[in-house]
A and B are shown apart, each in its own frame.
Chain A
Amino acid sequence: AQTVTQSQPEMSVQEAETVTLSCTYDTSENNYYLFWYKQPPSRQMILVIRQEAYKQQNATENRFSVNFQKAAKSFSLKISDSQLGDTAMYFCAFTSYNNNDMRFGAGTRLTVKP
């Protein structure tokens, strides 16, 4: 079974600074996808970034980038130039190509301070 671990329940960062959220996962699959979702207080799930495991290049989306280390089964999210609107719960998620459901980590509550 696949598991996703987020070891940082809460983090905070000053506005305009950079923060990195950690995620590790466990799987025996070789083909899979990894995601970071953001859940603000409205509780809407918003896709931040995704990474295909077969791609060596780290995904980037504007201020968001990942550090994907397949051998270490690590998938961290870096948020640059943090903004107040980035305050939210962030969930790391895993989907195997052979099993199409999605498994989530416990989440990291990020607070951006002015």
Chain B
Amino acid sequence: GAVVSQHPSWVICKSGTSVKIECRSLDFQATTMFWYRQFPKQSLMLMATSNEGSKATYEQGVEKDKFLINHASLTLSTLTVTSAHPEDSSFYICSARPGQDPYSNQPQHFGDGTRLSIL
């Protein structure tokens, strides 16, 4: 149980295009999902917290207009990298916490990540 599906797993696109990444909780509902960015050989850095039915909360230094987050249902959050440039190339990982309590003590379950390469 507690499976999180992230799609696509790998995307290559030209500079200036927008890329949408989906994060789905397959067998549970999640009020809160999280988006992380991971550079090679580095740790996961939280980008934003996605809350169903409300605006996402972004970490300091993360551009809201560059990284658009939508959490339209209890099982789906999307991250759109707008007008992507080579410096946006990275590994993006989402996670979801089961339950509708945003402060649930359930552990986060992670998607398999998306490798984004901007040419």
What does the 1/0 interface line of B82-112 toward A look like (CB < 8 Å)? 0000000001010101000011110111101
| Complex alpha-carbon distance, A50 and B110, angstroms | 15
Total cross-chain contacts (CB, 8 A): 50
Given A101-B46, A104-B43, A107-B43, the answer on whether A45 and B95 have CB atoms closer than 8 Å is yes
Given A43-B113, A97-B103, the answer on whether A106 and B32 have CB atoms closer than 8 Å is no
Describe B's contact surface by its main secondary structure. strand
**Footprint of A on B, CB under 8 Å?**
32, 34, 38, 42-46, 49, 91, 93, 95, 97, 102-105, 107-110, 112-113
Q: Shortest 6 CB-CB distances between A and B: which pairs?
A: A45-B110, A104-B43, A104-B44, A106-B43, A107-B43, A44-B112
Give 14 CB contacts A-B under 8 Å: A33-B107, A43-B93, A45-B95, A47-B107, A50-B107, A91-B44, A100-B102, A101-B34, A102-B34, A102-B46, A102-B95, A103-B46, A104-B45, A106-B42
**Footprint of B on A, CB under 8 Å?**
33, 35, 37, 42-45, 47, 50, 52, 91, 95, 97-98, 100-107
